[in-house]
């Protein structure tokens, strides 16, 4: 027998789970916990075991076998059950005939687990009330004798009869109380009906003005209430992911009064939006979806499905999708997110392989997270809606969605290629990716992929610049070569640029067309007003060069990452006050969300700026406290910062820097009713 403290690491319960170095537990410590252990020869155990049984009062025994042969398919569930922490109101005594495993007992008062290794010949007795658990080791076999104490049959019978009589008496008392409560409940319900009738008569006599509005105005009120309720639910979910959401507004509206219900049920637009998020409501509302499909009649549908987290285990999610597919001609906005285990391809594949037309489709987002390996997208040919989607303006795809469900993109204004989890290693060929960037109608582009295209195909010194004449909003992440693309695209209308998890190459300032000459007079994005750097690394020459490319920026966000290697540190470390003054001369706002080593760089960046109209420095409340009270700062130093900037704090509980809806609504017109709160470009408040 051997005992030691359990390492509390996750993993197979049948492994030793011994600390390194091991912390042994003595037999005396086990005895202090009233854990008794004897060891006999397994070949001649009957006599010694009988003696101990007589001494301890164990009068009964039986045999138990835990193995895959005896339990079959139930084995894994059985050993998991045995390993759940539990206790008994009688001693637990086991003699091991063959096999091996572990008893874990909870030490008091430390609450640590002590693991006892047992094998053939060991007799272990656990006291009443001790928390414990049991498991075989990797050999997956235990044969043991279970030993019990047994009370006299007459004593047990007398106790049982007395307890039964007491329980019967209590049962009759509660039945009498229940009957009385039922009488009172019936009388109360009748009174409620009477009062409701009187209230309704008075209310109808008053002729509520809202009920006299034309149906068209009432429907406009319904629309406004629906949008407002979804936005409020989003705000609530952002503040508390576990918060219970209110019921759907369309359902509430249809239960206010008879007149509103009549109007609501005859207003198809009210029922044309349907959202199912498995993480917030695991019950699949199949019947409710049927009602929405029926009540929306022929109106275009906005369908939003998030099956991520089901892992193929929640019944009904594919049935929900099967009900939606036949109505594809009515899809106006369709969003589907899933994990690989939820086989959405089995439902969508048959219909999407057919040459069908999607006449109403405006937005198509599909991220099925299918494992795609060694595939390359070499053509921009639609794989879905091959007869066309003339109104399609917005598309969001992960890599598996791009490989499997690529839609028509002739008229796109918004394209999001985002795969933060990166399933497989599929990618675009560089010529195809260049064609994507060259889409004339593109206004909003978001790319988050580990390898959007083959690095070997990208030749920075060949080919003309890529004209993106209508692009206004750009986001890039995860693939460093995307930074180099900034040197080769021409986007005169670009207003906002967000970058995340990227590193500016050392040769950034010398890699533009024309080589090193470009570093003195680089091409610029003249319309950029907003820049956002999320965990962006750069050295000073590259940072200085990029600042020259974005001279008219008025608001910049610096967030996350290693401060000493960050873009902010590089650009603020630029030598010479005059050169720093020339960088972003129109800068009005800095959103700062980093763990700084000092306040020097922030003070240096503000030096030479007009004091009458200082830059606004926005800090999350916890970052502001770090600056004010941090070890590297002092009250005098913080006061200098407060004089150099106009400081505003951002409430971490209401973080409006989160990009819940992208692109901005003004750029897309109808952005839809529902949004994914887990946008991969979200900016979370600084967390130590």
Query: 547 is written with which tokens?
Result: 């600042």
pLDDT in tens, 18-75: 999 999 999 999 999 999 999 999 888 999 999 999 999 998 899 999 999 999 988 9
Lowest-pLDDT range of 148-152, 246-250, 258-262: 148-152
Write down the pTM of the prediction. 0.68
Q: For residue 449, which of 407, 488, 396, 408 has the smallest C-alpha distance?
A: 396
* Cβ-proximal residues to 155 (8 Å cutoff; 6+ apart), any chain: none
Q: What is the pLDDT of residue 100?
A: 96
Q: What is the pLDDT of residue 339?
A: 87
Report the relative pairing of strands 101-106 and 113-118 from DSSP bridges: antiparallel
Architecture of domain 460-512+521-657: Alpha-Beta Horseshoe (3.80)
Beta bridge partners of 428: 377, 453
Confidence of residue 370 (pLDDT cuts 50, 70, 90): confident
Q: Is the bond leading into 21 cis (omega within 30 degrees of zero)?
A: yes
Which of 103-117, 373-387, 574-588, 594-608 is predicted most confidently? 103-117
User: Regarding predicted confidence, which is higher, 351 or 12?
Assistant: 12
545 a known binding residue?
Answer: no
pLDDT at 205 over 70: no
The answer to whether the CB of 324 falls within 8 A of the CB of 294 is no
Please count the CA atoms within 13 angstroms of the CA of 16 that sit on its side-chain side: 8
Lowest-pLDDT range of 158-167, 202-211, 363-372: 202-211
Q: What is the pLDDT of residue 470?
A: 96
The answer to whether the CB of 370 falls within 8 A of the CB of 345 is yes
Mean pLDDT to the nearest integer, 448-473: 80
Q: What is the pLDDT of residue 668?
A: 41
- Report how far residue 688's alpha carbon sits from residue 683's, in angstroms, rounded to the nearest whole number: 15
Q: For residue 338, which of 372, 370, 383, 375 has the smallest C-alpha distance?
A: 370
The string of DSSP codes covering 432-464 is HHHHHHT-TT--EEEEE-S-SB-GGG--TTSSP
362 a known binding residue?
Answer: no
The 3-state DSSP class for residue 198 equals helix
pLDDT at 371 over 80: no
The vertex-283 CA angle with 280 and 287, nearest 5°, equals 125
Report the relative pairing of strands 589-593 and 616-620 from DSSP bridges: parallel
**Residue 535 neighbours by CB distance under 10 Å:** 19
90 a known binding residue?
Answer: no
Confidence of residue 664 (pLDDT cuts 50, 70, 90): confident
User: Regarding predicted confidence, which is higher, 274 or 672?
Assistant: 274
DSSP 330: G
Query: 135 is written with which tokens?
Result: 């498991």
* Cβ-proximal residues to 477 (8 Å cutoff; 6+ apart), any chain: 420, 447, 448, 499, 500, 501, 502, 534, 680, 681
- 129: phi > 0 → left, psi -120 to 50 → alpha, else beta; which? left
Beta bridge partners of 304: 275, 335
User: Regarding predicted confidence, which is higher, 2 or 160?
Assistant: 2
pLDDT in tens, 131-167: 999 999 999 999 999 998 865 455 556 667 778 888 8
Q: What is the pLDDT of residue 158?
A: 64
Beta bridge partners of 144: 64, 96
DSSP 18: B
Q: What are the distances in angstroms from CA 206 to CA 193, 195, 202, 258, 421?
A: 20, 17, 6, 16, 60
Q: Counting beta carbons within 10 angstroms of the beta carbon of residue 649, is it exposed (0 to 12), middle (13 to 18) or buried (19 or more)?
A: middle
pLDDT at 515 over 50: no
pLDDT in tens, 265-284: 999 999 999 999 887 776 77
Mean pLDDT of the chain, nearest integer: 86
In 3-state terms the chain splits into helix, strand, coil percentages (rounded to 5) of: 35, 20, 40
Q: What is the pLDDT of residue 517?
A: 43
pLDDT at 688 over 80: no
Report the relative pairing of strands 394-397 and 363-367 from DSSP bridges: parallel
Q: What are the distances in angstroms from CA 488 to CA 207, 273, 663?
A: 68, 41, 23
- Report how far residue 562's alpha carbon sits from residue 582's, in angstroms, rounded to the nearest whole number: 26
Confidence of residue 258 (pLDDT cuts 50, 70, 90): confident
Residue with tokens 């960046």: 605
Q: What are phi and psi of 185, to 5 degrees?
A: -65, -40
Query: 263 is written with which tokens?
Result: 């109007």
The string of DSSP codes covering 528-574 is --EEEEEEEE--HHHHHHHHHH-TT--EEEEESS-GGGBHHHHHHT-
Q: How many Å from the N-terminal Cα to the C-terminal Cα in the chain?
A: 45
Q: What is the pLDDT of residue 459?
A: 67
Rg of the chain on CA atoms, in Å: 35
User: Regarding predicted confidence, which is higher, 291 or 354?
Assistant: 291
Q: Counting beta carbons within 10 angstroms of the beta carbon of residue 119, is it exposed (0 to 12), middle (13 to 18) or buried (19 or more)?
A: middle
Q: For residue 662, which of 676, 648, 683, 673 has the smallest C-alpha distance?
A: 676
The listed CATH number (3.40.50.720, 1.10.760.10, 3.40.50.11030, 2.60.120.10) that belongs to domain 2-151 = 2.60.120.10
pLDDT in tens, 78-93: 999 999 999 988 899 9
88 a known binding residue?
Answer: yes
pLDDT in tens, 311-330: 666 778 889 999 999 999 99
The answer to whether the CB of 147 falls within 8 A of the CB of 94 is yes
Q: What is the pLDDT of residue 611?
A: 76
Report the relative pairing of strands 466-467 and 414-418 from DSSP bridges: unpaired
Q: For residue 442, which of 491, 381, 377 has the smallest C-alpha distance?
A: 491
pLDDT at 613 over 90: no
Mean pLDDT to the nearest integer, 499-513: 85
- Report how far residue 140's alpha carbon sits from residue 375's, in angstroms, rounded to the nearest whole number: 43
Lowest-pLDDT range of 129-133, 341-345, 424-428: 424-428
């Amino acid at each position: 027998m051997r005992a030691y403290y359990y390492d509390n690491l996750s993993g197979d319960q049948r492994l030793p789970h011994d600390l390194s170095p091991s912390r042994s537990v003595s037999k005396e410590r086990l005895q202090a916990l009233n854990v008794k252990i004897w060891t006999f020869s397994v070949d001649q155990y009957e006599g010694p075991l009988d003696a101990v049984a007589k001494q301890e009062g164990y009068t009964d025994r039986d045999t138990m076998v835990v193995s895959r042969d005896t339990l079959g398919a139930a084995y894994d569930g059985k050993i998991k059950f045995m390993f759940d922490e539990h206790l008994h109101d009688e001693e637990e005594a086991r003699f091991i005939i063959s096999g091996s495993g572990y008893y874990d007992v909870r030490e008091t008062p430390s609450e640590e687990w002590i693991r006892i290794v047992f094998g053939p010949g060991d007799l272990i007795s656990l006291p009443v009330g001790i928390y414990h658990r049991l498991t075989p080791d990797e050999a997956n076999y235990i044969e043991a004798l279970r030993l019990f104490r047994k009370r006299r049959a007459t004593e047990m019978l007398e106790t049982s009869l007395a307890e039964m009589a007491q329980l019967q008496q209590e049962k009759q008392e509660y039945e009498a109380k229940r009957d009385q409560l039922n009488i009172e409940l019936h009388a109360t319900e009748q009174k409620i009906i009477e009062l409701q009738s009187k209230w309704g008569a008075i209310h109808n006599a008053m002729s509520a003005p809202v009920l006299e509005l034309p149906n068209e105005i009432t429907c406009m009120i319904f629309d406004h209430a629906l949008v407002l309720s979804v936005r409020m639910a989003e705000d609530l979910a952002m503040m508390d992911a576990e918060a219970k959401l209110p019921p759907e507004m369309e359902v509430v509206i249809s239960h206010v009064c008879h007149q509103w219900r009549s109007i609501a049920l005859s207003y198809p637009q009210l029922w044309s939006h349907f959202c199912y998020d498995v993480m917030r409501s695991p019950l699949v509302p199949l019947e409710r979806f049927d009602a929405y499909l029926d009540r929306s009649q022929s109106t275009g549908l906005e369908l939003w499905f998030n099956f991520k987290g089901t892992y193929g285990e929640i019944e009904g999610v594919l049935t929900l999708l099967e009900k939606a597919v036949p109505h594809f001609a009515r899809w106006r906005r369709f969003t589907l997110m899933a994990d690989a285990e939820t086989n959405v391809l089995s439902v969508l594949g048959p219909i999407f392989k057919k040459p069908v037309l999607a006449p109403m489709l405006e937005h198509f987002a599909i991220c099925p997270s299918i494992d795609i390996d060694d595939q390359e997208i070499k053509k921009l040919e639609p794989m879905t809606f091959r007869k066309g989607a003339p109104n399609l303006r917005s598309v969001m795809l992960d890599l598996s969605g791009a490989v499997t469900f690529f839609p028509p993109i002739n008229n796109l204004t918004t394209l999001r290629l985002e795969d933060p989890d990166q399933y497989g290693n599929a990618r675009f060929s560089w010529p195809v990716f260049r064609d994507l960037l060259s889409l004339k109608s593109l206004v909003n582009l978001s790319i988050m992929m580990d390898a959007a295209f083959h690095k070997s195909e990208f030749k920075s010194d060949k080919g003309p610049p890529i004209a993106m004449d209508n692009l206004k909003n750009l986001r890039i992440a995860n693939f460093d070569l995307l930074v180099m693309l900034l040197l080769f695209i021409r986007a005169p209308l670009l207003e906002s640029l967000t970058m995340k998890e990227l590193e500016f190459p050392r040769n950034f300032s010398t890699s533009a067309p024309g080589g090193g000459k470009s570093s003195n007079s680089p091409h610029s994005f003249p319309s950029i007003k907003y820049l956002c750097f999320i965990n962006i690394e750069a050295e000073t020459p590259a940072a200085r060069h990029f600042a020259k490319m974005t001279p008219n920026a008025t608001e910049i966000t610096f967030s996350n990452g290693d401060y000493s290697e960050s873009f902010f540190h590089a650009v603020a470390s630029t030598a010479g006050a005059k050169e720093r003054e020339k960088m972003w001369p129109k800068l009005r706002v800095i959103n700062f969300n980093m763990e700084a080593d000092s306040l020097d760089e922030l003070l240096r960046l503000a030096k030479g700026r007009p004091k009458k109209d200082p830059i606004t420095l926005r800090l999350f409340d916890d970052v502001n406290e770090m600056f004010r009270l941090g070890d590297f700062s002092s009250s005098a130093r913080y006061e200098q910062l407060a004089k150099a900037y106009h400081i505003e704090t951002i409430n971490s509980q209401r973080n409006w820097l989160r990009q819940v809806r992208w692109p901005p609504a003004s750029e897309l017109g109808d952005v839809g009713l529902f949004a994914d709160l887990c946008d991969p470009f979200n900016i979370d408040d600084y967390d130590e």
